[in-house]
Structure 1
Amino acid sequence: MSDTNNDPLRFSTIAHGDHHYLSPLSRAKAHQLLQSLTCNLSAEDIVLDAGCGKAALLRDALQMSPVRGVGVDINGCFLDEAHALFRRDMPEDPRLTLINSPLLEHARPNEGYAAILCVGSTHAFGSFEECLRVSFDWLKPNGRLLIADGFWKQAPSQDYLHVLGGTVDEFVSHAENAERAREWGYHLLRTATSSDDEWDEYEGKYCDAMMRYLVTHPDDPDSEEFLSRMQEWHKAYLGWGRATLGFGYYLLARR
């Protein structure tokens, strides 16, 4: 991406303009996962949304339970939107704190977190493995972690890896993701995967938001690059990604 506007997050911010969750996740599936995550939590408990984006899952969790929430992200635009939406939906509720900071640098509660959300943002920790390791230290005993990340449905082609800018060892299988969590000392409570419909909804909104932006901002200095990048990305999704890249959810309990 060019640095015309000196904002490496700009493409993602525009392309996610219409998304509620920044992952291929339906509201029905999110509700089920959040129910399991927050069951038995009290008003004294704190839930962290690590790499929260618009903090949609965290905001939903606060509507479903009496917990307090902390969302941390480096994208200030997403955090501003999250704050505005929370104030709109829960105007008198003081339980949400949003922090614009690298995740590993934010101030953490001495008592630890009762639950952690890390959905599509393991890069905020450095990797899937680092998310498991660090979260184990940040969680209270018996605390819960909902971690979600990619997995290979089948071996990726070299052409697809080229578009992703990734490597074959970047992901493993769905079962191997779950096994890595067990190896780090977690109990596995439940798993889920994104459906083709959830992927199509996510990728469709991603492409459509960018294309509408480019139509209404023809003089944007990044327009040519953004157009090429989006069209190549969506072509790769249809040609390879839909059959190759899965997205798995792993609800874990710290032992």
Structure 2
Amino acid sequence: MDRTDLPPRLTRLTFHGPLSEARAARIVTRLARTGPATVLDIGCGWGELMLRVLEATPGATGLGIDLNAEDIARGRANAVARGLAGRVEFVVGSAAGTPRGPADLVLCLGASHALSDETPPKHTAAALHALRERVAPGGRVLLGEGFWQRPPTPAELTGMWPDARADEYHDLAALVALAVEAGFRPAWIESADSGEWEEFESGYLSDTEEWLAAHRDHPLADETRARADRHRASWLDGYRGVLGLAYLTLVPVD
């Protein structure tokens, strides 16, 4: 079996996270207004938001780093298709300890774990300090980070991922306080709404669900079905309405 015999991967997602077109447009406008010359995207996936910032900021250059080679290839292809190949580099590798930077704009969307070996929730503070070192004076950091919208119940924790803990995330106020302690001022605080989560979760599984409907007897159908069912149950029975994703636009303190 080759890749063409398996479910397509995340083709229904524009962004690898709960981010709507409307919110993305507002974020890009806000970030482009600062005129960044260099953009660093940590744990970039296919780097869609970075590419949009580059489109909105003529002359700016970008660098995306991620461990997933398939996502990096998608980012490179998208850059070529949009005439940005000469202004952006996609690298397969770890962001931890990278000498790249500082940059005028640093994006870290759902990838703080890439900057620290600490276990949650300590990794968030460590990642914020690492981001402070990677942003140029007067620049911006856009951090996409998980937080508890409310304390999860024991039943909800049981429905989430294995070994989920009530102390695994901070609440939003504590998350923002950590950013301030790391040397930032929060220029903008917002979080994904329920519609963005539903769009993301549905898009995350959509390719797989349609493939399963058409490949009931495929040798990998049972394994693929079990994995999809586990993910859907984790969302619907566990973190739906409990886990949030904050988008913090942070300004480094001089």
Could you tell me the TM-score, scaled by structure 2's length?
Answer: 0.86
Residue 27 (structure 2) aligns with: 33
Query: CA–CA distance in 1 between the matches of 2:220 and 2:115?
Result: 29
Mind listing any 5+ residue stretches in structure 2 that lack a counterpart? Answer: 117-122
Alignment match of 1:89 (pick from 71, 82, 85): 82
The ranges of structure 1 where at least 4 consecutive aligned residues each deviate by more than 3 angstroms after the TM superposition are: 213-223
Residue 161 (structure 2) aligns with: 164
Counting only pairs closer than 5 Å after superposition, residues 68-217 of structure 1 correspond to structure 2 as: 68-90=61-83, 93-109=85-101, 112-126=102-116, 127-162=123-158, 163-165=160-162, 166-216=164-214
Mind listing any 5+ residue stretches in structure 1 that lack a counterpart? Answer: 6-10
Q: What is the number of residues matched between the two proteins?
A: 240
Alignment match of 1:250 (pick from 245, 248, 251): 248
Residue 62 (structure 1) aligns with: 54
Shift of 1:222: 4.7
Query: CA–CA distance in 2 between the matches of 1:69 and 1:79?
Result: 13
Shift of 1:223: 3.4
Are residues 1:53 and 2:51 paired?
Answer: no
Shift of 1:217: 5.3
Could you tell me the TM-score, scaled by structure 1's length?
Answer: 0.86
Distance of aligned partners of 1:217 and 1:124 in 2 relative to their CA distance in 1, 3 Å threshold? farther
Contact 1:50/1:73 (CA < 8 Å) preserved in 2?
Answer: yes
Identity %: 25
RMSD over equivalenced CA pairs, Å = 2.2
Residue 120 (structure 2) aligns with: none
Partner amino acid, structure 1, of 2:17: S
Contact 1:115/1:144 (CA < 8 Å) preserved in 2?
Answer: yes
SS at match of 1:243: coil
Contact 1:72/1:106 (CA < 8 Å) preserved in 2?
Answer: no
SS at match of 2:211: helix
SS at match of 2:232: helix
Query: CA–CA distance in 1 between the matches of 2:236 and 2:54?
Result: 36
Distance of aligned partners of 1:156 and 1:183 in 2 relative to their CA distance in 1, 3 Å threshold? same
